[in-house]
Amino acid sequence: MLRHRVLSGIRPGIWNRHLSVLAKSLKYTQHGEPQDVLQLVEDKLSDPKDNQVLVKILAAPINPADINTIQGKYPVKPKFPAVGGNECVAEVICVGDNVKGLEAGQHVIPLASGLGTWTTHAIYKEDQLLAVSKKVGLAEAATSTVNPTTAYRMLRDFVQLSSGDTVIQNGANSAVGQAVHQLCRAWGLNSVGIVRDRPDIAELKQMLQCMGATEILTEAEIRTSDIFKSGKLKKPRLAFNCVGGKSATEVSRHLDNGGVMVTYGGMSREPVTVATGPLIFKDIAFRGFWMTRWSKENYSSAERSKMFKNIFDLMEQGKFVAPNHEMVPLDKFQDAAAAALNFKGFTGKKYIFDMSI
């Protein structure tokens, strides 16, 4: 027997007498630019069986990796036809007979990657989902599994940091960057961020400093800044790079002896180049990090549960907010994908599909 609750806000017309539901999904059957290959299609979902869970997706963001996956430029290769998107927050509508830990009405996020989340409804397996408190905001929950976790792991797993230590990063206005600032504030670390110069740089600096950044400098300003030489801040022992090219080289120059730079993205598409002097004389190290790998290797670990608890506790306390974002309806996917592809210059904000109504 199915345990279910009909949710307010779901149009009666989309239910049939067996509780099946029409899902509207952004699907693609070949790689290409998202605006060209994504199509909004309808599928009838059958009732969840055994360990399956039928969910209504409430919100799902567009991340750079989602775009790269559709383009065929990401290591994760979906089977076609594929539904776009990798993270979301959803509400459980009903569960199969063997589901023990979830019930209708709960909010959940995906624990597994590559489930396809740009859809109004989906059937997932119980062990692919994690229940999340409804006190966590929809935008926060929807964007919790990729970027905050990446920031969390990079801050924890490479260098043993103590209160008062400094972390430096480029792409400091990215969603990961915003998560780094907020975790640094929560953990008593100094967070120095490098961003590209832009007409509204003062507003951007103010926004990131409100999130917890200690200093935000442009690429030109960091070259001449004396914040480390003057002793105002301790030299960084840890650096994060999501840009590559000259930006990565410049950031790595500021590392203290024995410091580590972790590369987790390559937004400029330029290779990471290393300055020879700091490499030799300061013995700095260069590492890479991929959250998808870490999550697979630690799928059911106590450390993963602890990480989610810490992040959701901060979100509930209002100490960790979603990245600067705009909610967009699913049928505006062409505009949202083009904007996320950064055609207009600077990234500015994250786009989140809103399927909550």
Ligand X SMILES: NC(=O)c1ccc[n+]([C@@H]2O[C@H](COP(=O)([O-])OP(=O)(O)OC[C@H]3O[C@@H](n4cnc5c(N)ncnc54)[C@H](OP(=O)(O)O)[C@@H]3O)[C@@H](O)[C@H]2O)c1
Binding site for ligand X (CB under 6 A): 63-65, 146-147, 150, 171, 173-176, 196, 242-243, 264-265, 267-268, 289-291, 323, 342, 346-347, 350
Beta bridge partners of 27: 39, 83
The C-alpha atoms of residue 19 and residue 123 are separated, in whole angstroms, by 13
Q: Give whichever of 61 and 236 is closer to ligand X, judged by the CB atom.
A: 61
Nearest distance, CB of residue 52 and ligand X, angstroms: 28
Q: Give whichever of 53 and 176 is closer to ligand X, judged by the CB atom.
A: 176
Question: Which of 234, 259, 240 lies closest to 165, judged by CA?
Answer: 234
Nearest distance, CB of residue 258 and ligand X, angstroms: 23
* Integer CA distances (angstroms), 329 to 5, 118, 314, 354, in order: 25, 11, 28, 5
Q: Which residue is nearest to ligand X (CB)?
A: 265
Q: Give whichever of 25 and 145 is closer to ligand X, judged by the CB atom.
A: 145
Beta bridge partners of 286: 261
> Are the C-beta atoms of 274 and 249 separated by less than 8 Å?
yes
Q: Give whichever of 102 and 261 is closer to ligand X, judged by the CB atom.
A: 261
SS3 213: coil
Q: Give whichever of 159 and 175 is closer to ligand X, judged by the CB atom.
A: 175
Overall residue count recorded for the chain in this entry: 357
Angle between helices 175-187 and 201-211 (to 10 degrees): 40
* Integer CA distances (angstroms), 125 to 2, 40, 283, in order: 15, 24, 47
The C-alpha atoms of residue 330 and residue 59 are separated, in whole angstroms, by 10
Question: Which of 282, 209, 222, 211 lies closest to 248, judged by CA?
Answer: 222
Nearest distance, CB of residue 221 and ligand X, angstroms: 14
Q: Give whichever of 23 and 82 is closer to ligand X, judged by the CB atom.
A: 82
Active site residue ranges: 74
Nearest distance, CB of residue 325 and ligand X, angstroms: 9
Nearest distance, CB of residue 70 and ligand X, angstroms: 13
The C-alpha atoms of residue 83 and residue 60 are separated, in whole angstroms, by 12
Phi, psi of 83 (to 5 degrees): -95, 135
Q: Give whichever of 62 and 99 is closer to ligand X, judged by the CB atom.
A: 62
The C-alpha atoms of residue 3 and residue 138 are separated, in whole angstroms, by 24
> Are the C-beta atoms of 279 and 302 separated by less than 8 Å?
no
Nearest distance, CB of residue 268 and ligand X, angstroms: 4
The C-alpha atoms of residue 62 and residue 143 are separated, in whole angstroms, by 9
> Are the C-beta atoms of 93 and 5 separated by less than 8 Å?
yes
Nearest distance, CB of residue 171 and ligand X, angstroms: 4
